């Protein structure tokens, strides 16, 4: 695992860059880019790449471009472009005036293709897509050369110009690189560089009816932007010889070094745009920014902080081999960050009414309660106390088992920041037998939280004053999938969705200090977890909170076990 964020991260990519600086490979320059295709929202896997590319730029005092890799009109849109811009900014990175679009290079890319044809390094092939696939060969068998492979340069130039002019049907011809049909690397067996596709592009409209393939557009876009280190995920390792071949044939001035690293896989979720789109389109979630989604927008709505995501990316590091990261580590990073930042308040999710029999009717007093036990600088607020309170239903049991230390008949507990109370009577619904109200007494001598006679209680519970508290809706989010790897096995991944990934509680009560909680404000609800006000739905008078993460740290347990 990489070092924490206390020191500068180091990994094999930074070692390569250091070596290049030492050997003056790019005249000492470092320039990276983050090149998302705007065909979906960014997810936590993209965040790993964002933190890596922009992180390197920061560390080496160099630049990182944001480039929309928008060469395939299908599924690309302005909405996605805007979401990407938003999300990378939210993560805390800036590209100044270096926002680029691969679609802005269409004319230059076309001219590069013409140059390849003129050099005898590309030809127009009139086989169908199926035929091309059939003739490509396998890992053990070489491919077959296309009957169109030896068309003359003049004929190729003419056909390619007419492809652009729209003279042919979709699929009638493609432009292929002329490399080697017997290459052991299948990627090098005369790969397709351009295809005819009549589709409106969200930026260039119907201006083009031929579009470059990823392998052709990507290396040349990198080169045009004078990128030095083109960092991508491992599945492009086999494409690196093609990346280099294209740039070598065209003899460009700027030839970036492609470096591959392992993509992030995270347990209990999926990180594939195609599948995330399916969840959105089929309505399994409320949208791309549903707080259960592994998208940056979802995590923002959920209440995750950019700092927590950075810390997570630092901790997972960058490696050469694929692995599945435990989502508990991400949750641990969120908790770690919020533990320091989030003020503590009290909220009752499932209220049970408690009447303090010996407390005077109509009386109210206030307990000065610190916002953070370890950080007095966060200040305090007044928490009102009165005769009728709400406590959490699960903090009372009529017949408590061993090791249940909370409230029970004739048992005394401490109220957080307040008095000891003792349960003396239980009121039940005569029909259902459900406990609907507790009658308690309080000990006025215990206001400090301690009894002068030295008697002890075994539990401290949270509460709110019925007269002063505010109603709130609370949305309890849990993991979207109920298995660690939803893509494993033959079953459709949607079969593994967690039916309990969202529980909405409508009759929660929160302490009055939350009346003007700012949009997106984050709090620790004592004993329950971290929560934030919903950015869209929460308003004064109609508070809505999202659960960011529970207090239970499964990651700490896992790493404890590993240490032992
Ligand atoms: P998906 O497989 O989800 O469709 P993609 O790789 O097609 O993702 P792009 O928009 O092309 O999505 O990705 C932009 C950049 O983010 C690329 O450089 C890609 O390597 C990187 N990236 C995408 N997914 C991950 C991941 N899970 N972990 C690390 N980097 C990723
Ligand atoms: Mg892609």
Q: Are 353 and 470 in contact (CB under 8 A)?
A: no
Who lines ligand 1 at CB under 6 A?
A: 35-37, 45-46, 48-49, 69, 232-233, 263-264, 271-274
Question: Looking at residue 80, what is its pLDDT?
Answer: 98
What gap in Å lies between CA 181 and CA 190, rounded to an integer?
A: 6
Which residues are catalytically annotated?
Answer: 37, 263, 273
pLDDT tens-digit profile, the chain (564 residues): 333 344 566 899 999 999 999 999 999 999 999 999 999 999 999 999 999 999 999 999 999 999 999 999 999 999 999 999 999 999 999 999 999 999 999 999 999 999 999 999 999 999 999 999 999 999 999 999 999 999 999 999 999 999 999 999 999 999 999 999 999 999 999 999 999 999 999 999 999 999 999 999 999 999 999 999 999 999 999 999 999 999 999 999 999 999 999 999 999 999 999 999 999 999 999 999 999 999 999 999 999 999 999 999 999 999 999 889 999 999 999 999 999 999 999 999 999 999 999 999 999 999 999 999 999 999 999 999 999 999 999 999 999 999 999 999 999 999 999 999 999 999 999 999 999 999 999 999 999 999 999 999 999 999 999 999 999 999 999 999 999 999 888 889 999 999 999 999 999 999 999 998 998 999 999 999 999 999 889 998 999 999 999 998 776 666 666 666
Question: Looking at residue 10, what is its pLDDT?
Answer: 86
Q: Are 291 and 546 in contact (CB under 8 A)?
A: yes
What gap in Å lies between CA 70 and CA 35, rounded to an integer?
A: 9
Distance from Cα 46 to the centre of ligand 1, integer Å: 6
Pocket perturbation via mutation, ligand 1, pick of 46, 47, 81, 312 by most ligand atoms within 8 A of CB: 46
User: Which DSSP letter does residue 516 get?
Assistant: G
Give kind and range of the element (H or E) at residue 559: helix 554-563
* Nearest alpha carbon, ligand 1 atom 22: 46
Question: Looking at residue 4, what is its pLDDT?
Answer: 39
* Nearest alpha carbon, ligand 1 atom 26: 45
Pocket perturbation via mutation, ligand 1, pick of 13, 36, 83 by most ligand atoms within 8 A of CB: 36
User: Which ligand does the CA of 34 lie closest to?
Assistant: 1
Look at residues 340, 348, 341, 343 and name the one whose alpha carbon lies nearest to residue 369: 343
Residue 236, both tokens: 């492009």
Residue 210 main-chain phi, psi, to 5 deg: -120, 140
Pocket perturbation via mutation, ligand 1, pick of 233, 237, 316 by most ligand atoms within 8 A of CB: 233
Q: Give the CA distances from residue 216 to residues 162, 175, 280, 314, 554, in Å, rounded to whole numbers and listed in that order.
A: 20, 11, 31, 32, 45
What gap in Å lies between CA 347 and CA 350, rounded to an integer?
A: 9
Q: Give the CA distances from residue 244 to residues 153, 235, 241, 247, 248, in Å, rounded to whole numbers and listed in that order.
A: 23, 16, 5, 5, 6
Q: How many Cβ atoms from other residues are within 10 Å of residue 416's Cβ? A: 17
Alpha-carbon torsion angle 102, 108, 112, 114, nearest 10: 120
Give the 3-state secondary structure of residue 313.
helix
Q: Which residues contact 425 (CB under 8 A, 6 or more apart)?
A: 438, 439
Q: Is the dihedral of CA 475, 476, 482, 486 positive or negative?
A: positive
Q: Are 219 and 193 in contact (CB under 8 A)?
A: no
Q: Give the CA distances from residue 338 to residues 86, 461, 522, in Å, rounded to whole numbers and listed in that order.
A: 23, 21, 8
Q: Which residues contact 131 (CB under 8 A, 6 or more apart)?
A: none
Atom of ligand 1 lying closest to residue 276 CA: 3
The three-point CA angle 360-362-368 to 5° equals 85
Q: Are 473 and 543 in contact (CB under 8 A)?
A: yes
Question: Looking at residue 2, what is its pLDDT?
Answer: 39
Q: Are 85 and 119 in contact (CB under 8 A)?
A: no
Question: Looking at residue 6, what is its pLDDT?
Answer: 44
Give kind and range of the element (H or E) at residue 481: none
Atom of ligand 1 lying closest to residue 50 CA: 16
Q: pTM of the prediction?
A: 0.93
């Amino acid at each position: 695992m990489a070092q924490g964020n206390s020191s500068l991260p180091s990994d094999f990519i930074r070692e390569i860059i250091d070596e290049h600086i030492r050997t003056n490979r790019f005249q000492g320059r470092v320039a990276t880019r983050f090149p998302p295709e705007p065909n979906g929202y960014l997810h936590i896997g993209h965040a790993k790449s964002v933190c890596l590319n922009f992180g390197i730029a920061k560390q080496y005092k160099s630049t990182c471009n944001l480039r929309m890799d928008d060469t395939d009109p299908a599924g690309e849109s302005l909405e996605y472009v805007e979401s990407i811009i938003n999300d990378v900014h939210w993560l805390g990175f800036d590209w100044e005036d270096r926002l680029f679009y691969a679609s802005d290079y269409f004319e230059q890319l076309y001219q590069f293709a013409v140059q390849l044809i003129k050099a005898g390094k590309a030809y127009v092939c009139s086989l169908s897509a199926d035929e091309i696939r059939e003739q490509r060969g396998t890992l053990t068998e070489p491919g077959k050369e296309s009957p169109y492979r030896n068309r003359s340069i003049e004929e190729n130039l003419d056909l390619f110009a007419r492809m652009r002019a729209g003279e042919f049907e979709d699929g009638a011809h493609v432009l292929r690189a002329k490399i080697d049909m017997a290459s052991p690397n299948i990627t090098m067996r005369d790969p397709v560089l351009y295809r005819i596709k009549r589709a409106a592009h969200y930026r260039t409209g119907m201006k083009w009816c031929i579009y470059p393939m990823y392998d052709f557009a990507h290396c040349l876009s990198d080169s045009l932007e004078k990128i030095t280190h083109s960092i991508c995920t491992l599945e492009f390792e086999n494409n690196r010889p093609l990346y280099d071949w294209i740039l070598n044939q065209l003899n460009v001035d700027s030839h970036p070094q492609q470096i591959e690293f392992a993509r992030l896989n995270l347990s209990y979720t999926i990180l594939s745009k195609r599948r995330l789109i399916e969840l959105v389109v089929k309505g399994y979630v409320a949208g791309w920014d549903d707080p259960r989604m592994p998208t940056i927008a979802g995590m923002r709505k959920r209440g995750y902080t950019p700092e927590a995501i950075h810390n997570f990316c630092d901790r997972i590091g960058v490696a050469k081999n694929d692995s599945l990261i435990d989502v508990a580590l991400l949750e641990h990073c969120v908790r770690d960050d919020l533990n320091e930042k989030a003020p503590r308040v009290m909220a009752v999710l499932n209220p049970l009414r408690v009447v303090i029999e010996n407390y005077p009717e109509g009386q109210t007093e206030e307990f000065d309660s610190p916002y953070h036990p370890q950080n007095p600088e966060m200040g305090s607020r007044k928490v009102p106390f009165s005769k009728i309170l709400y406590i959490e239903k699960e903090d009372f049991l009529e017949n408590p088992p061993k090791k249940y230390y909370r409230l029970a008949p004739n048992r005394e507990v401490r109220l957080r920041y307040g008095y000891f109370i003792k349960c003396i009577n239980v009121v039940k619904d005569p029909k259902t037998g459900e406990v609907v109200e507790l009658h308690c007494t309080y000990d006025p001598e215990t206001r400090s939280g301690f009894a002068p006679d030295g008697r002890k209680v075994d539990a401290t519970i949270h509460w709110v004053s019925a007269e002063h508290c505010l109603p709130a809706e609370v949305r309890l989010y849990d993991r979207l999938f109920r298995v660690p790897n939803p893509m494993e096995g033959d079953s459709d991944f949607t079969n593994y969705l967690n039916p309990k990934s969202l529980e909405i509680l409508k009759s929660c009560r929160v302490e009055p200090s939350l009346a003007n909680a700012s949009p997106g404000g984050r709090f620790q609800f004592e004993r329950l977890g971290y929560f934030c006000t919903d950015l869209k739905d929460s308003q004064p008078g109609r508070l809505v909170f999202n659960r960011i993460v529970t207090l239970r740290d499964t990651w700490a347990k896992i790493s404890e076990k590993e240490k032992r």
